[in-house]
Amino acid sequence: MNRYTISALVDNKSGVLTRVAALFARRGYNIESLSVCTTEDPALSRMTIVLCGDDYILGQMMKQMDKLIDVRKINKVEEDAVSRELLLCKVKTDATTRSQVLEISQIFRAKIVDVSTEATIMELTGKPSKLDGFINMLMPYGILELARTGVTSIGRGASCLRDVPDYKEQI
Protein backbone atom coordinates (compact mmCIF):
# COMPACT_ATOMS: atom_id res chain seq x y z
CA MET A 1 0.00 0.00 0.00
CA ASN A 2 1.40 3.37 -1.04
CA ARG A 3 0.55 6.72 0.50
CA TYR A 4 -0.71 9.35 -1.95
CA THR A 5 -1.51 13.00 -1.47
CA ILE A 6 -4.16 14.74 -3.56
CA SER A 7 -4.67 18.52 -3.72
CA ALA A 8 -7.94 19.93 -4.95
CA LEU A 9 -9.39 23.38 -5.44
CA VAL A 10 -13.06 23.26 -4.51
CA ASP A 11 -15.87 25.77 -4.16
CA ASN A 12 -15.82 27.42 -0.75
CA LYS A 13 -19.38 26.65 0.27
CA SER A 14 -21.22 24.40 2.67
CA GLY A 15 -21.62 20.73 1.85
CA VAL A 16 -18.51 20.31 -0.32
CA LEU A 17 -16.49 18.55 2.38
CA THR A 18 -19.42 16.24 3.09
CA ARG A 19 -19.74 15.28 -0.59
CA VAL A 20 -16.02 14.52 -0.92
CA ALA A 21 -15.91 12.50 2.32
CA ALA A 22 -19.05 10.60 1.29
CA LEU A 23 -17.43 9.76 -2.05
CA PHE A 24 -14.58 8.00 -0.22
CA ALA A 25 -16.93 6.30 2.25
CA ARG A 26 -19.22 4.93 -0.49
CA ARG A 27 -16.24 3.20 -2.09
CA GLY A 28 -14.87 1.90 1.20
CA TYR A 29 -11.65 3.95 1.10
CA ASN A 30 -10.26 5.59 4.22
CA ILE A 31 -8.98 9.16 4.28
CA GLU A 32 -5.70 9.05 6.23
CA SER A 33 -5.46 12.83 6.52
CA LEU A 34 -7.64 15.74 5.46
CA SER A 35 -6.90 19.45 5.57
CA VAL A 36 -9.15 22.17 4.15
CA CYS A 37 -8.75 25.94 4.14
CA THR A 38 -9.82 29.00 2.18
CA THR A 39 -7.28 30.07 -0.46
CA GLU A 40 -6.10 33.47 -1.65
CA ASP A 41 -9.41 33.54 -3.60
CA PRO A 42 -12.27 33.58 -1.03
CA ALA A 43 -14.51 31.68 -3.47
CA LEU A 44 -12.19 28.63 -3.38
CA SER A 45 -10.87 26.27 -0.73
CA ARG A 46 -7.81 24.05 -1.01
CA MET A 47 -8.36 20.47 0.09
CA THR A 48 -5.38 18.19 0.80
CA ILE A 49 -6.25 14.51 1.13
CA VAL A 50 -3.87 11.68 2.03
CA LEU A 51 -4.98 8.15 1.18
CA CYS A 52 -3.40 4.71 1.19
CA GLY A 53 -3.79 2.33 -1.70
CA ASP A 54 -2.39 1.45 -5.07
CA ASP A 55 -2.29 3.34 -8.36
CA TYR A 56 -5.73 1.98 -9.30
CA ILE A 57 -7.35 3.35 -6.12
CA LEU A 58 -5.65 6.71 -6.63
CA GLY A 59 -6.86 6.89 -10.23
CA GLN A 60 -10.41 5.90 -9.29
CA MET A 61 -10.67 8.46 -6.50
CA MET A 62 -9.27 11.26 -8.63
CA LYS A 63 -11.69 10.41 -11.46
CA GLN A 64 -14.63 10.29 -9.06
CA MET A 65 -13.63 13.56 -7.36
CA ASP A 66 -13.24 15.23 -10.75
CA LYS A 67 -16.88 14.38 -11.50
CA LEU A 68 -18.09 16.40 -8.51
CA ILE A 69 -19.45 19.79 -9.60
CA ASP A 70 -17.78 21.62 -6.70
CA VAL A 71 -14.27 20.35 -7.56
CA ARG A 72 -12.52 22.88 -9.81
CA LYS A 73 -9.00 21.40 -10.06
CA ILE A 74 -7.45 18.20 -8.79
CA ASN A 75 -3.87 17.02 -8.87
CA LYS A 76 -1.64 14.36 -7.33
CA VAL A 77 0.99 16.02 -5.14
CA GLU A 78 4.47 15.11 -6.33
CA GLU A 79 7.15 13.62 -4.07
CA ASP A 80 9.25 16.80 -4.08
CA ALA A 81 6.40 19.02 -2.85
CA VAL A 82 6.65 20.78 0.50
CA SER A 83 4.40 18.94 2.97
CA ARG A 84 3.90 19.85 6.62
CA GLU A 85 1.67 18.96 9.53
CA LEU A 86 1.09 20.60 12.92
CA LEU A 87 1.01 18.64 16.19
CA LEU A 88 -0.08 19.72 19.66
CA CYS A 89 0.94 17.20 22.31
CA LYS A 90 0.18 17.22 26.04
CA VAL A 91 2.61 15.08 28.03
CA LYS A 92 2.41 14.13 31.69
CA THR A 93 5.35 15.79 33.48
CA ASP A 94 6.46 16.36 37.03
CA ALA A 95 9.59 17.79 38.63
CA THR A 96 11.60 14.65 37.82
CA THR A 97 10.59 14.20 34.15
CA ARG A 98 10.07 17.79 32.96
CA SER A 99 13.74 18.39 32.06
CA GLN A 100 13.89 15.17 30.01
CA VAL A 101 10.72 16.11 28.10
CA LEU A 102 12.10 19.62 27.48
CA GLU A 103 15.34 18.10 26.16
CA ILE A 104 13.39 15.94 23.69
CA SER A 105 11.42 19.01 22.58
CA GLN A 106 14.69 20.87 21.90
CA ILE A 107 16.06 18.01 19.82
CA PHE A 108 12.93 18.08 17.62
CA ARG A 109 12.71 21.90 17.73
CA ALA A 110 9.27 21.77 19.30
CA LYS A 111 7.87 24.88 20.93
CA ILE A 112 6.64 24.75 24.53
CA VAL A 113 3.23 26.44 24.58
CA ASP A 114 2.05 25.64 28.12
CA VAL A 115 3.55 24.26 31.32
CA SER A 116 1.77 23.27 34.51
CA THR A 117 2.79 21.19 37.51
CA GLU A 118 1.22 18.07 35.96
CA ALA A 119 1.66 18.51 32.20
CA THR A 120 3.52 20.22 29.37
CA ILE A 121 1.99 21.11 25.99
CA MET A 122 4.28 21.27 22.95
CA GLU A 123 3.77 22.39 19.37
CA LEU A 124 5.69 20.83 16.50
CA THR A 125 5.51 21.41 12.76
CA GLY A 126 7.15 19.18 10.17
CA LYS A 127 6.87 16.15 7.97
CA PRO A 128 4.51 13.47 9.29
CA SER A 129 7.48 11.12 9.87
CA LYS A 130 9.13 13.72 12.12
CA LEU A 131 5.92 14.05 14.15
CA ASP A 132 5.68 10.26 14.44
CA GLY A 133 9.26 10.13 15.78
CA PHE A 134 8.50 12.86 18.31
CA ILE A 135 5.42 11.00 19.53
CA ASN A 136 7.41 7.76 19.89
CA MET A 137 10.04 9.53 22.01
CA LEU A 138 7.36 10.98 24.31
CA MET A 139 5.33 7.77 24.76
CA PRO A 140 7.29 6.55 27.83
CA TYR A 141 6.44 9.78 29.68
CA GLY A 142 2.70 9.40 29.14
CA ILE A 143 0.94 11.27 26.37
CA LEU A 144 -2.26 12.66 27.85
CA GLU A 145 -3.64 14.12 24.65
CA LEU A 146 -2.57 14.94 21.13
CA ALA A 147 -4.04 16.65 18.09
CA ARG A 148 -2.72 16.66 14.52
CA THR A 149 -3.92 19.00 11.80
CA GLY A 150 -3.41 16.71 8.85
CA VAL A 151 -0.97 17.15 6.00
CA THR A 152 -0.89 20.34 3.98
CA SER A 153 1.15 20.34 0.76
CA ILE A 154 2.16 22.79 -1.89
CA GLY A 155 4.23 22.15 -5.02
CA ARG A 156 7.70 23.63 -5.47
CA GLY A 157 8.49 26.28 -8.04
CA ALA A 158 6.29 28.82 -9.77
CA SER A 159 3.52 26.46 -10.91
CA CYS A 160 0.27 26.60 -8.92
CA LEU A 161 -2.61 24.18 -8.50
CA ARG A 162 -4.97 26.60 -10.26
CA ASP A 163 -2.64 26.49 -13.31
CA VAL A 164 -2.50 22.70 -13.75
CA PRO A 165 -4.54 21.30 -16.64
CA ASP A 166 -7.96 19.91 -15.86
CA TYR A 167 -7.82 16.30 -14.67
CA LYS A 168 -9.36 14.99 -17.91
CA GLU A 169 -6.42 16.54 -19.78
CA GLN A 170 -3.90 14.93 -17.41
CA ILE A 171 -4.99 11.33 -18.09
Domain count, the chain: 2
> Is 80's pLDDT higher than 90?
no
Interval 56-67 mean pLDDT: 92
Query: In angstroms, what CA-CA distances link 134 with 60, 62, 128, 155?
Result: 34, 32, 10, 25
Whether residue 68 sits in one domain with residue 29: yes
> Is 8's pLDDT higher than 90?
yes
> Is 2's pLDDT higher than 70?
yes
Whether residue 43 sits in one domain with residue 69: yes
pTM: 0.84
pLDDT tens, position by position, 93-146: 999 999 999 999 999 999 999 999 999 999 999 999 999 999 999 999 999 999
> Is 162's pLDDT higher than 90?
no
CATH number for the domain including 88?
A: 3.30.70.1150
Please give the pLDDT value at position 160.
84
- Of residues 115 and 164, more confidence is placed in 115
Query: Coil, strand, or helix at residue 31?
Result: strand
Q: Which domain holds residue 25?
A: 2-81+157-170
Whether residue 118 sits in one domain with residue 70: no
CATH number for the domain including 62?
A: 3.30.70.260
Mode of pairing for the β-strands spanning 82-92 and 152-154: antiparallel
